Amino acid sequence: MSAPIGIFDSGYGGLTILSQIRSLMPQYDYIYLGDNARTPYGTRSFEVVYEFTRQAVEKLFDMGCRLVILACNTASAKALRSVQQNDLARLGSDRRVLGIIRPTVESIGGITRSRHIGVLATEGTILSASYPIEINKLFPDIQVSGQACPLWVPLVENGEAHSPGADYFVRKYITQLLEQDPLIDTVILGCTHYPLLIEKIRRFTPAGINIVCQGDYVAASLQDYLQRHPEMENNCSKNGSCQFFTTESEEKFTSSANLFLRYPVEVHRVTLG
């Protein structure tokens, strides 16, 4: 049986990851699922993010996926391990769920010179401490500071990413991060929504600081995973298609998805749980 690759996010943010994955590996079939009705996840508890993520993974498995990417840092931080440990055996031993924090973290050792890194992410991702934990496993010499940016996802989800009103909040969180550690020379955008704010993030980040967007690293890491796991790769269907599903209204998704993908998509509504 051949299967599409599932890409899940709490909303539209994962579309930034999907774009990079598809441009590197256009041959595969993909299913994108956004839990737009229940976004944002960033301020929710571990239990709730785990429950919602498990429901989404089950839905994507039911749709025929064998491999699901949690294209959401919050879900990767708060739910990935629980889904892998508690649910995968029951859902099918040949299925896999991968997150996006590890591939991002692997990339930064070669980028920072000062060995001082900043992470901008949702409150949930920052409170989970997943980035400092994962970074220090690989690079114990790197000092990590984190700044939660609770208003960035709502700005993006509400189509305000380019509005003048967004300037205040973009500048505010960057300033707060750099105040924590002035030696930071590399900033990870640890939320898949944030590349949509990249123009403003660049404008308010001092020159010389590297800004790391995750998409390229996640796509390269997935390619590497598929090369190392032919049993999974052989099962991936290869017609170059992508289907979109949302838990919110189809109209709303279609118009907002345009901001991320810049091509029209046909989307279907699903319920989770």
Span interacting with ligand DGL, options 60-68, 130-138, 190-198, 246-254, rule CB under 6 A: 190-198
For residue 267, what are its two tokens? 């989307």
Total number of residues that touch ligand DGL (CB under 6 A): 17
Q: Catalytic residue at 72?
A: yes
The residue type at 61 = F
34 binds ligand DGL per the rule CB under 6 A: no
31 binds ligand DGL per the rule CB under 6 A: no
Residue 96: name the closest of 105, 87, 104 by CA.
87
Q: What CA–CA distance (Å, rounded) separates 61 from 211?
A: 34
248 binds ligand DGL per the rule CB under 6 A: no
Sites for ligand DGL among residues 140-179 (CB under 6 A): 153
Task: Tell me whether the omega of the peptide bond preceding residue 40 falls within 30 degrees of 0, making it cis.
Answer: yes
261 binds ligand DGL per the rule CB under 6 A: no
11 binds ligand DGL per the rule CB under 6 A: yes
Crossing angle of helices 101-108 and 130-138, in 10° steps, is 50
Residue 82: name the closest of 54, 122, 101 by CA.
54
By beta-carbon proximity to ligand DGL, the closer residue of 145 and 192 is 192
246 binds ligand DGL per the rule CB under 6 A: no
Binding-site member from 4, 5, 8, 10 for ligand DGL (CB under 6 A):
10
Residue 189: HSE in the Cβ half-sphere, 13 Å Cα cutoff: 28
**Minimum distance from residue 157 beta carbon to ligand DGL (Å):** 8
For residue 124, what are its two tokens? 């949930």
20 binds ligand DGL per the rule CB under 6 A: no
Binding-site member from 20, 36, 53, 73 for ligand DGL (CB under 6 A):
73
Tell me phi and psi for residue 224, to 5 degrees.
-65, -45
**Minimum distance from residue 217 beta carbon to ligand DGL (Å):** 14
215 binds ligand DGL per the rule CB under 6 A: no
Q: What CA–CA distance (Å, rounded) separates 145 from 142?
A: 10
Q: Catalytic residue at 149?
A: no
Span interacting with ligand DGL, options 69-77, 107-115, 235-243, 260-268, rule CB under 6 A: 69-77
The residue type at 94 = D
Cα dihedral value 182, 188, 192, 195, nearest 10? 70
CA 126 distance to own-chain centroid: 14
122 binds ligand DGL per the rule CB under 6 A: yes
Sites for ligand DGL among residues 38-67 (CB under 6 A): 39-42
By beta-carbon proximity to ligand DGL, the closer residue of 24 and 48 is 48
For residue 48, what are its two tokens? 């709730």
Binding-site member from 4, 6, 13, 103 for ligand DGL (CB under 6 A):
13
By beta-carbon proximity to ligand DGL, the closer residue of 152 and 236 is 152
The answer to whether 176 and 200 have CB atoms below 8 angstroms apart is no
- Residues serving a catalytic function are 72, 191
